[in-house]
Amino acid sequence: MDRPFGLLAELTYACPLHCPYCSNPLNLGDYCDELTTQEWQRVLAEASELGVLQLHLSGGEPLQRRDLVEIVRSARGVGLYTNLITSGFGLSPRRAELLRAAGLDHVQISIQADEPTLADRIAGARSFERKKAAARLVKSLGWPLTVNVVLHRHNIDRVDRILDMAADLGADRIELANTQYYGWAWRNRDGLLPSRAQLECAEATVRARRGRLDGRIEIIYVVPDYYSRYPKPCMGGWGRRQLTVVPNGDVLPCPTAHALPLPRVSVREHPLAWIWERSPLFQRFRGTGWMPHPCRSCGRREIDFGGCRCQAFQLTGDAARTDPVCHLSPDHGLVAAAVRAANSDTQPARTPLTFRPHPDRPVKG
Partner 1 sequence: MPSTMPMPIDSDAGRPRLAPHVRLTFDPARQRYVLLTPETVTVLNDTGAAILELCDGERTVAGILTELHARYDRVVDDEVRLFLTDLLAKRRVEVSDG
List interacting residues with partner 1 (CB under 8 A): 3, 5-6, 48-51, 53-54, 56, 79, 81, 83, 105-106, 108, 142-144, 146, 172-173, 207, 210-211, 214-215, 218-220
From the CB of 228, what's the least distance to partner 1, in Å? 17
From the CB of 180, what's the least distance to partner 1, in Å? 15
From the CB of 12, what's the least distance to partner 1, in Å? 21
Instruction: Tell me how far CA of residue 320 lies from CA of 238, 298, 355, in angstroms.
Output: 12, 15, 30
Nearer to partner 1, 235 or 291 (CB): 235
Residue 174 CA to residue 365 CA, distance in Å, equals 31
**Residue 174 near residue 166, CB atoms below 8 Å:** yes
Largest CA distance in the chain: 56
From the CB of 175, what's the least distance to partner 1, in Å? 9
Nearer to partner 1, 30 or 172 (CB): 172
Task: List helix spans (H) across the chain.
Answer: 37-50, 68-77, 93-102, 116-123, 128-140, 159-168, 183-187, 189-192, 196-213, 272-278, 280-283, 301-304, 309-316, 332-343
Residue 312 CA to residue 232 CA, distance in Å, equals 12
From the CB of 289, what's the least distance to partner 1, in Å? 25
Nearer to partner 1, 79 or 93 (CB): 79
Question: What is the distance in angstroms between the CA of the first residue and the CA of the last residue of the chain?
Answer: 35
**Residue 168 near residue 217, CB atoms below 8 Å:** no
Residue 274 CA to residue 177 CA, distance in Å, equals 33
Residue 81 CA to residue 83 CA, distance in Å, equals 7
Nearer to partner 1, 6 or 359 (CB): 6
Nearer to partner 1, 170 or 292 (CB): 170
From the CB of 5, what's the least distance to partner 1, in Å? 5
From the CB of 206, what's the least distance to partner 1, in Å? 9
| Crossing angle of the two packed helices 332-343 and 309-316, in degrees rounded to 10 | 80
From the CB of 362, what's the least distance to partner 1, in Å? 31
From the CB of 10, what's the least distance to partner 1, in Å? 17
Nearer to partner 1, 106 or 356 (CB): 106
Instruction: Supply the Cα-derived Rg of the chain in whole angstroms.
Output: 20
What is the DSSP code (8-state) at residue 59?
S
Instruction: Tell me how far CA of residue 237 lies from CA of 4, 43, 51, 174, 302, in angstroms.
Output: 11, 22, 17, 25, 8
Nearer to partner 1, 118 or 273 (CB): 273
Residue 365 preceded by cis peptide, ω within 30 = no
Q: Which of 85, 89, 34, 33 is nearest to 55 (CA)?
A: 85
Nearer to partner 1, 211 or 261 (CB): 211
Nearer to partner 1, 57 or 295 (CB): 57
Q: Which of 5, 40, 103 is nearest to 247 (CA)?
A: 40
Residue 288 CA to residue 305 CA, distance in Å, equals 7
From the CB of 274, what's the least distance to partner 1, in Å? 16
Nearer to partner 1, 51 or 357 (CB): 51
**Which strands form 173-178's sheet, in the order they lie side by side?**
218-222, 173-178, 145-151, 106-110, 81-86, 54-58, 6-10, 242-245, 251-252
